[in-house]
């Protein structure tokens, strides 16, 4: 879905407006100048159109330190947005900082909807009209607090968006969706903070009451990714035993929404059943996979040797996934995540032409025929790649192939065509 960023300097009522657009009634976080806020995105709908709403922190382009960081985030938000809602406070009028934002917006060439907020009654509409002087087109008077004018504003936002893609085809393009998953305390939240480049905390309405998944757009090596359900990752609440069930539901939901999953494992402790369950779930859901062995700084020679044995024993079935040995604490090898994520996505989306596939299958079957069973020789007649993401092959056969032979075929397919970081699914259609 298209992305709409809401920007404006602190205290103009961005969060209130975001809540208004989302149709929430909860009290909102105060938009305090100087308080670090993350960009937080939400799924929104208006007139049957879905879009993603990104709430940015306050904006003060000329300020140092904190404010500069906030500004940087807002600039990133604008760069990744399809349209921008620029919020000004009609009761205050335009300030120099607004002008600075306007320059950034012009440079971005993104469609801008100008929201003149705090127009709580008809009398203040004249103040809104003075916002024409920003040169961003018609100001839309709105009262985020009372809802006045918000329907018209939403109509204007939809008009500013690029045409909706036809039907329900999956949206290509847009930031790739990454889920960081793993059992509690393995360092997911530390890793997210490290990857995002600085310590940040999600500011959400009424802490602890929200059940919305919160995604964040994060730039890694110049590529913007959408990190899925960061509220779930960052949740600090100790999970009571009853909550484990919900935690695993949340993990599964994140895996399903993701294109690529980074499964974080605590390298300093023995692998657990739960680690393996999460890995298996990623494979079965058909997502690209990257295994991050975290807390590498806590491992000694002996532990690393034992980990090697655990990998041979328990992780062979995930041998196709890239491993990175990292420390979210020291930052060791965290820079390898970006390239590994890209590689896994490339493997996940590999397409093999029918011609190449069948040339390969022909050679394979000739050199390694299926063993004869009951006087019959099952054979692969031909194959085709039915899907990508993950690569899914349909093999047309005479007779039924044994599971061991299928594993052999998968191994050879991987040797020939790659698919690093991706599950490969094989389906068999037997012709008798
Ligand atoms: P989460 O529950 O998976 O999000 O885990 P956290 O990020 O909250 O980390 C759990 C604990 O492990 C915290 O005390 C972190 O400081 C610590 N931790 C995380 N990563 C590392 C690491 O690479 N090395 C060390 N030594 N400690 C880490």
Q: How far is CA 39 from CA 18, 55, 120, 216, in A?
A: 12, 5, 27, 7
Report the sign of the C-alpha dihedral through residues 181, 186, 189, 194, in that order: negative
Q: Are 334 and 242 contained in the same domain?
A: yes
198-219 per-position pLDDT tens digit? 544 343 333 333 344 577 888 8
The answer on 244 and 110 residing in a single domain is no
pLDDT of the residue at 197: 65
Among protein residues, the one whose CA lies closest to atom 25 of ligand 1:
295
pLDDT tens profile 363-421: 999 999 999 988 888 989 888 888 899 999 989 888 899 999 999 999 999 999 999 99
Q: Which atom of ligand 1 is nearest to the CA of 184?
A: 2
Amino acid 223: pLDDT: 86
Residue 185 among known ligand-binding residues: yes
Domain around 77: 3-160
260 and 287 share a domain?
A: yes
Domain count, the chain: 3
User: What's the pTM value of the predicted model, to 2 decimals?
Assistant: 0.61
Residue among 179, 187, 272, 325 to mutate when testing ligand 1 (max atoms within 8 A of CB): 187
Quick one: 215 and 281 in the same domain?
yes
The ipTM assigned to this model is 0.94
User: Was 325 annotated as part of a binding site?
Assistant: no
Domain end call among 112, 130, 160: 160
Give the residue among 378, 366, 376 at the shortest CA–CA distance from 402. 378
Enter the tokens of residue 304: 């690393």
What distance in angstroms lies between residue 258's CA and the mean position of ligand 1's atoms? 23
Q: Find the mean pLDDT for residues 137-158.
A: 89
Among 348, 368, 402, give the residue marking a domain's end: 348
Same domain? For 125 and 228 the reply is: no
Kindly give the distance from the C-alpha atom of residue 269 to the centroid of ligand 1, in angstroms, as a whole number: 13
**CATH number of the domain residue 99 falls in:** 3.40.50.300
Q: What DSSP letter does each residue of 189-237 carry, written as one string?
A: HHHHHHHTTS------SSTTT--S--BEEEEETTEEEEETTHHHHH--S
Whole-number pLDDT of residue 120:
85
Q: Ligand 1 centre and the CA of 25: distance in Å? A: 35
pLDDT in tens, 267-276: 999 999 999 9
What is the number of the ligand 1 atom nearest to the C-alpha of 190?
A: 7
């Amino acid at each position: 879905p298209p992305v709409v960023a809401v920007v404006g300097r602190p205290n103009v009522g961005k969060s209130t407006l975001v809540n208004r657009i989302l149709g929430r009634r909860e009290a909102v976080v105060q938009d305090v100048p100087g308080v670090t806020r993350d960009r937080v995105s939400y799924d929104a709908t208006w007139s049957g159109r879905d879009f993603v709403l990104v709430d940015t922190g306050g904006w003060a382009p000329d300020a140092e330190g904190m404010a500069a960081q906030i500004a940087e985030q807002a600039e990133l938000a604008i760069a990744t947005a399809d349209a921008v809602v620029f919020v000004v406070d009609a009761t205050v009028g335009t300030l120099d900082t607004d002008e600075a934002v306007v320059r950034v917006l012009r440079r971005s060439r993104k469609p801008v909807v100008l929201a003149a907020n705090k127009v709580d009654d008809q009398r203040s509409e004249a103040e809104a009209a003075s916002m024409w002087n920003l040169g961003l087109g018609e100001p839309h008077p709105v009262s985020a607090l009372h809802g006045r004018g918000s329907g018209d504003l939403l109509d204007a936002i939809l008009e500013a968006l690029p045409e909706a893609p036809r039907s329900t085809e999956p949206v290509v393009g847009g930031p790739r969706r990454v889920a960081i998953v793993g059992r509690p305390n393995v360092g997911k939240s530390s890793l997210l903070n490290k990857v995002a480049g600085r310590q940040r905390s999600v500011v959400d309405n009424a802490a602890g009451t929200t059940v919305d998944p919160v995604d964040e757009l994060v730039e890694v090596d110049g590529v913007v990714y959408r990190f899925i359900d960061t509220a779930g990752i960052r949740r600090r609440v100790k999970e009571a035993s009853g909550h484990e069930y919900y935690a695993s539901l949340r993990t599964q939901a994140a895996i399903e929404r993701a294109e690529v999953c980074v499964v974080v494992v605590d390298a300093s402790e023995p692998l657990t059943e739960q680690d393996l369950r999460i890995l298996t779930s990623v494979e079965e859901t058909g997502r690209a996979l990257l295994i991050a062995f975290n807390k590498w700084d806590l491992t000694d020679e002996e532990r690393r040797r034992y980990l090697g044995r655990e990998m041979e024993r328990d992780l062979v079935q995930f041998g196709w996934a890239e491993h990175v040995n990292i420390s979210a604490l020291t930052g060791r090898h965290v820079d390898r995540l970006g390239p590994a994520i890209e590689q896994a996505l490339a493997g996940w989306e590999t397409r093999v032409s029918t011609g190449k596939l069948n040339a390969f299958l022909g050679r394979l079957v000739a050199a390694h025929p299926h063993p004869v069973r009951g006087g019959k020789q099952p054979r692969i007649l031909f194959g085709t790649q039915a899907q990508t993401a993950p690569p899914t092959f349909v093999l047309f056969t005479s007779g039924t192939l044994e599971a061991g032979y299928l594993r052999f075929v998968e191994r050879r397919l991987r040797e020939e065509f790659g698919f690093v970081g991706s599950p490969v699914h094989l389906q068999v259609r037997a012709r008798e």
